[in-house]
Structure 1
Amino acid sequence: MYTRKGTPDSEMEAACKTETPTLEPSSATQLPEGTNCLACSEDGRYLSLGHCQGLSVWCASSLICAAEWLQDRVEITSIQMTRMAETAYLLGTVDDMGVARVFAYHCEDIHLLHVINIMENINERSICLTFEVSEGGDYGAASISCNGALWLEVYHFPLEAWLKELEMALAQKQHSNSSGDVDMKWSPVAMVIEIKPLQISAGAAADGPLEVVQTMDFLTHCLALDVDTSCSRRAFNTDVGETKETNESPRRCTHHFLLPCGPNPGERKAKSQPAGLPVAVCVWWSGSHNLLQYLLQKAPKNKPGRLFICPEMNQLYDHKHLFKNMLPVVKSSCLLFEADVEAMPDVLWPNAKKILCSAVSRCTHYIAVGLHDGLVCVWDRKSASPLSVVPVSVTDSPFSKMQFVDDWPVSADDSQTFTSAEVHLLVRCKGGAIHAVTTGRGTRSCTVQLTERPKHSGDLLTVTASVPFLQSLSLVVQRNGKMFLQDVVNKTTVCLLIPPTSHLVAAPCNPVYALNTKLRALLIKAGDQDPSCSSSSQGGSQSQLLIFHFGESDIIKQYIVTPPVSPQQQETWSCVTLEESCDLYLQQRALSVDERNKAIAQTWRQLQETAETQQSCSQLESSRK
């Protein structure tokens, strides 16, 4: 609980002096004891809460508890909710002991479907660091840590079987008139892929005969560079008497689910799959330069990988990447054997600098990475090439977080330009500064600094979240508990969000909040009553949930837009063959021919003007000489 220096009354007076509108919560309700997290479903109907004795599901409109799952000594610290059917919702949770669970909410009942990491041996206890369920509930990804090792596990959930079993459980409960949970054996979860940091020899890109080095695949070379960089840092620490284990944090994994997008490798079957079903997962490890894509296709059973061993070089090679290009003399000396191999990435996006943060657009067509030395690279999955590389003048601190902004206003000048590939990003630095990046193919990249680095620690930003139903507005929460809506285009504060005088924002360094897109509301946890408030009651120390309805404010109504359609609900573009991809590309080129001709003519005019100016300057200098 962070106590801010100013009181809500003083902030209200300051806001009035600066003529900044204020918005107070329209309603509030008491939260369960020890509420640590909350999440809204995509349709806005339900709100899920994790607390110190389990979890509960509330109706979002009435704020009445619909169901709860309680268990002693189970404190839920992370929760996610997604709709898997019309009346069924999937919940993914992580507790304070690092155990991940999958629940289902169906007809006012919560059922425990699966435990991700069950502790069988206390000496080999696995801890779940993060757990994410894809929208729609088809897949789940958990980063697991055990005895210093870290890896990512991706699961496929049997939704159809679970829905049938939920209906059976409901029928059994109604038949027996029992109020407790029905004993049901739920269908098992299948692990699709296990991803570990690849162990590539640091000298793999330079060792061996010249002929073999020339045939070394680009994938192995890029991965070896990452390992070589890690070894260099470890050697430096060893020289000064320090070890990697005590001075370097373990490698963390960041992942994103990817939807079908064009004729990328392995996505040719996407057309036969339901729209919105993820087909791949994008992964990068801390300290790495590379983005790695793995397809979500479970390998056939009893078909291990085929490796080749060359006795002369004492190396193992994957037949897909190297053996087909080996010289005949090298092939003849290799021995073929069957073995289980680690999952290898299907697509690799190399970057010049170390990756610090990443984000994926809502349609997952674009992947943005924030790199060291202030570089922002946006990758286009359709063309499998960089959309743009933008340098951002960062002098105070490196990047810490980035996100796409979907509802960026289009000016009158831009409405006549073909900007279908234009993207907008918000990039936050560790020092607190925020930059807006606009880039795209065929457009000039632009960077604007929205906020400077705060002078006081209390003004540091803890939350900068784009509000999907408010055009170009971002929710900002500071460490001192101050909340406001910021216009990222005009760089102005649109509205201050003022909690009641009896409460403050709970844990503003890590606030518990959720945005309800359908109800156009912000739900945020308010902490214990302010001790300095004279209206404090004796038993009023229970946390409350504050609800700010943005649709009720006249100041904010002008920014309200229709929320974008979920990528899982819209038809996802996918081409089965390269010919179809080329046809679509040519169609887009034909539709944009007028705009491109105008842009070319304008560029030629600028070049002529620049040439005439330089020629005039040269003639003037010659006449002076």
Structure 2
Amino acid sequence: MPPAQHTTAKNRALASTGWYKICRSLWHALKDLSLLRKYSLLCLFLKRVMSVCTRKGTSDSEIEAACKTETSRKKTPTLELSSATQLPESTNCLACSEDGRYLSLGHSQGLSVWCASSLICVAEWLQDRLEITFTQMTRMAETTYLLGTVDDMGVARVFAYHCEGIHLLCVINIMENINKRSICLTFELSEGGDYGAASIGCNSALWLEVFHFPTEAWLKELKMALSQKQDPNSSGDVDVKWSPATVVIKVKPPKIPAGTALDGPLEVLQMTDLLTHCLALDVDTSNSHQWEELSFNTDAGITKETNESPRRCTHHFLLPCGQFPVDGKAKSQPAGLPVAVCVWWSGSHNLLQYLLKKAPKNKPADVEPMTDVLWPNAKEILCSAVSRCTRYIALGLDDALVCVWDRQSGSPLSVVLVSETDSAFFRMQFVDYWLSAEDSQTFTAAKVHLLVLCKSGAIHTVTTGRGTQTCTMQHTERPKESRDLPTVTASVPFLPSLSLVMQRNGKMFLQDVISKTTVCFLIPPTSHLIATPCNPVYALNTREQTLFIKGDQDPSCSASSKEGSQSQLFIFCFGESEIIKQYIVSLPDSPRQQKTLSCVTLEETCNLYLQQRALFVDERNKAVRQTWKQLQDTAVIVQQRHSRAAAS
């Protein structure tokens, strides 16, 4: 074939797949740019498309779909990178304080605190052969912050940042005996730093320890340490004996005491026996799952490991909310101080609640605490979330059920069937991080919005409330390819209708939950990629409306200097973008500063519950009529199916 005819055949083949039309439309869409800028953008576009098209077995339809995807991406706005700075070596975790003033960074040499506005390191705590893998930061006083960390050896520590210095206050799990080494799996500080909860494992055993931190004593000791350091007569080494943290409760997986009779009639059981009965059902269910696994595993080693696998726990701190008299001492507590912690164990149907009260001095520390409230559920709990005011507790159950409990009334707000086709729930969160003060103190029908993530990658939204009709909607469908699976789907507090989505392929964008449209893409520089997209290192500054995220050098780019190849901290300022300004709302005060309604006596709680019931009589009757109509329609459909089956 002559060269001219060969070139014409190639052009016809290119046009047949839609490439030529797409490239031509893209070229004309960039008419306002210079010729060199047009050429560079078109080359970048073709490079991305060819990376998809060069896979073995890619059809023309897939090639055209890839071209259309890239073209639609060009139409979606892009949020420009505000700034970037170099990170310490092997930065593993990142956290931001609630007031947005400071960043906490955990890396291979220890811990650093940065100023969030200037991105200047203001304090460091360094130690050789120590790698921090988790960090959290909360404000303890006006200029004092508490930091909780976990290192790669499973040791949890509590630090204080005060007057440009980091002080180690206590170690949560000190390893005194190497044969009984305890490992901290999760560690969380309550807002304000009054309490901390650590999930600790040791030799196939697992338990949850809740600590009370002496914040007032620590503040005095920090001031004393600062005065000693500033004393010209001191040697420079400040040795302060910090006040110890005390264990409030130690919760273990529920076990049935030996000799407990649970075979009798349920009517004759006492309250304590009833709690034991409900816990026994969880233990029996857990054992039944284990026996099912044992029947398929004949290897003795696998059998032993399966039978002794510990039950993981999930916990949430709870603020005073005016529920049943277990919160009777809530009025004596400072505003915003947690009064309880709720816990559920893997394989369990029950959500357990424990009061955060000091244990009696004459009571042994290893005595199992008594459950104050038990929230029973029909199915196994898979995930959970608590609203920002902690009034509502959402539980993702097996068989695609979502149960929302209202702590103020002590009853379920709603039980919703989300989907019958999707896989099991993976994670859930409240879209609204707060409720207004009117919703928490008056008897209005407050709506609750939930974001439910499935293991398949599908995302659903649930809207419910007392006296309102529950609405479920599929936000995104299950991705066709595993690289498009979302690894992070986080609701942004100051963007209530938008969610931040990060995918396994490294793409990052803001998506409108209501219209299901992509608002804008967040793209790093061409020389860098989002670090570890399966588990990205990022932090949201809600006060400054900024996203901080770690980026690594792109290996496909040309090699640069050692400093240029280190990780970078990328900063995206949402408040500066005209695209996002229309979605931004102002944040209310922290729940620690809001007044909450609490009921001391059973009579006050019952009156509150009856007032709520009286206000929503019409809505409740309407919901009952709708439910009966649905039942009648379902009965007709079932009868028709039986009739057709009998006729055939």
Residues 106-145 of structure 1 correspond to what in structure 2 (within 5 A)? 106-145=162-201
**Could you tell me how far apart the structure 1 residues matched to 2:166 and 2:286 are?**
45
Partner-residue secondary structure (3-state), 1:471: strand
Picking from 251, 257, 263, the partner of 2:317 is 257
Distance 2:83 2:259 in 1: 63
Q: Tell me the TM-score normalized by structure 1.
A: 0.83
* DSSP 3-state at the match of 1:168: helix
Structure 1 position 98 matched with structure 2 position 154? yes
Give the structure 2 partner of residue 270 of structure 1. Answer: 330
Map of 1:356 onto structure 2: 382
- Report the Cα offset of residue 19 of structure 1: 1.7
1:511 is matched with which residue? 536
Q: Aligned pair in 2 of structure 1 residues 497, 287: CA closer, same or farther (>3 Å)?
A: same
Question: Which position in structure 2 is the counterpart of 1:563?
Answer: 587
Aligned to 1:342: 368
Which residue of 2 is the match for residue 336 of structure 1? none
Equivalent residue of 1:217, what SS?
helix
Alignment of 1:182-581 (within 5 A): 182-200=238-256, 204=260, 206-207=262-263, 217-240=273-296, 241=298, 243-247=302-306, 249-303=309-363, 341-406=367-432, 420-527=445-552, 529-534=553-558, 536-537=560-561, 539-581=563-605
Checking the alignment, whether the CA contact within 8 Å between 1:196 and 1:342 is kept in structure 2 is yes
2:446 partner letter: A
CA separation of 1:9 and 1:83: change in aligned 2, threshold 3 A: farther
Q: Deviations over 1:319-354 (max 9, x none)?
A: xxxxxxxxxxxxxxxxxxxxx741121110111111
Classify 1:19/1:99 alpha carbon distance in 2 versus 1 (closer, same or farther; 3 Å): same
- Residue type at the aligned position of 1:463: V
Distance 1:8 1:203 in 2: 73
Q: Deviations over 1:62-102 (max 9, x none)?
A: 00000000000110000000001000000000000000000
| TM-superposed deviation, 1:167 | 0.5
- CA shift for structure 1 position 300: 0.9
Change (3 A) 1:598 1:531: closer
For 1:319, the equivalent position in structure 2 comes to: none
Distance 2:283 2:619 in 1: 48
1:577 Cα deviation from its structure 2 partner: 2.2
Decide whether the 8 Å contact of 1:475 with 1:484 is kept in 2: yes
Instruction: Tell me whether 503-512 or 170-179 shows the greater mean CA deviation.
Output: 170-179
Alignment correspondent of 1:313: none
List alignment gaps of at least 5 residues for structure 1.
Answer: 1-5, 306-339, 411-417, 612-625
Pairwise CA distance, 1:525: 0.3
Amino acid paired to 1:481: G
Question: In the TM superposition, what is the alpha-carbon distance from 1:485 to its structure 2 partner?
Answer: 0.4
Contact kept, 8 Å, 2:45 with 2:70, in 1: the verdict is no
Query: Cα offset for 1:443?
Result: 1.4
CA shift, 1:532, in A, is 2.4
With normalisation by structure 2, the TM-score equals: 0.81
Match for 1:155 among 202, 211, 217?
A: 211
Give the Cα–Cα distance (whole angstroms) in 2 for the partners of residues 469 and 398 of structure 1: 29
Superposed displacement of residue 570, structure 1: 1.0
Seen in structure 2, the aligned counterparts of structure 1 residues 491 and 140 have a Cα distance that, compared at 3 Å, is same
Whole-angstrom distance in 2 between the partners of 1:607 and 1:150: 46
1:512, 1:92 → 2: CA distance? 17
Could you give the per-residue CA deviations for residues 270-316 of structure 1, whole angstroms, max 9, x where no partner exists? 112111100100000111111000111122111469xxxxxxxxxxx
Pairwise CA distance, 1:220? 1.1
> 1:408 touches 1:424 (CA, 8 Å); kept in 2?
no
- Measure, in 2, the Cα distance between the counterparts of 1:605 and 1:66: 61
What do you get for the CA RMSD once the two structures are aligned?
Answer: 3.1
| Structure 2: tracts of 5 or more residues without a match | 1-43, 50-66, 437-442, 633-648
Alignment length (residue pairs): 561
Q: Does 1:25 align with 2:51?
A: no
CA contact (8 A) 1:8 1:500 kept: no
Q: Deviations over 1:416-473 (max 9, x none)?
A: xx96332110000011000001112211111101111111111011000110011211
Whole-angstrom distance in 1 between the partners of 2:193 and 2:399: 37
Letter in 1 for 2:494: F
Which SS does the other structure have where 1:561 is aligned?
A: coil
The separation in 2 between residues aligned to 1:118 and 1:107, in whole angstroms, is 27
Distance 1:177 1:483, change over 3 A: farther
CA 1:537–1:280: 2 relative to 1, 3 Å: same
Contact map agreement 2:159 2:170 (CA 8 A) in 1: yes
Query: Equivalent residue of 1:90, what SS?
Result: strand
In 1, Cα distance between the equivalents of 2:620 and 2:521? 42
Report the secondary structure of 2:583's partner residue: coil
Q: Which moved more, 1:152-161 or 1:534-543?
A: 534-543
Deviation digits for residues 528-577 of structure 1 (CA, Å, limit 9, x no counterpart): x2132348446421100000000111110000001232111211221222
Matches within 5 A, 1:160-171: 160-171=216-227
Residue 269 of structure 1, CA deviation: 1.4
CA contact (8 A) 2:324 2:602 kept: no
Which shifted more, 112-121 or 341-350? 341-350
Q: Report the counterpart of residue 645 of structure 2 in structure 1.
A: none
- For 1:400 and 1:177, how far apart are their aligned partners in 2? 59
Give secondary structure in 1 for the equivalent of 2:284.
Answer: helix
Aligned pair in 2 of structure 1 residues 537, 232: CA closer, same or farther (>3 Å)?
A: same
**AA matched with 1:376:** V
Q: Distance in 2 between matches of 1:18 and 1:205?
A: 68
Do the aligned residues in 1 keep the contact of 2:551 with 2:569 (CA within 8 Å)? yes
Distance 1:351 1:53 in 2: 45
Relative to 1, partners in 2 of residues 1:15 and 1:298: Cα closer, same or farther, differing over 3 Å?
farther
2-structure distance, mates of 1:263, 1:17: 49
Cα offset, 1:395, TM superposition: 2.0
3-state SS of 1:187 partner: coil
Structure 2: distance between partners of 1:408 and 1:170: 37
Q: CA deviation at 1:24?
A: 2.1
Q: Tell me: CA distance 1:148–1:85, structure 2 relative to 1, closer, same or farther (3 Å).
A: same
Identity percentage over the alignment? 74
Using a 3 Å threshold, how does the CA distance of structure 1 residues 208 and 391 change in structure 2: closer, same or farther?
closer
2:232 is matched with: 176
Question: Secondary structure at 1:507's aligned position in 2?
Answer: coil
Distance 2:577 2:471 in 1: 32
Is contact 1:200-1:220 (8 Å) kept? yes
CA distance 1:468–1:605, change in 2 (3 Å) = closer
Does the Cα contact within 8 Å between 1:260 and 1:267 map onto a contact in 2?
A: yes
Amino acid in structure 1 at the alignment position of 2:495 = L
Return the letter of the residue paired with 1:284.
W
Could you tell which deviates more after superposition, 398-407 or 580-589?
Answer: 580-589
Letter of the structure 2 residue corresponding to residue 37 of structure 1: C
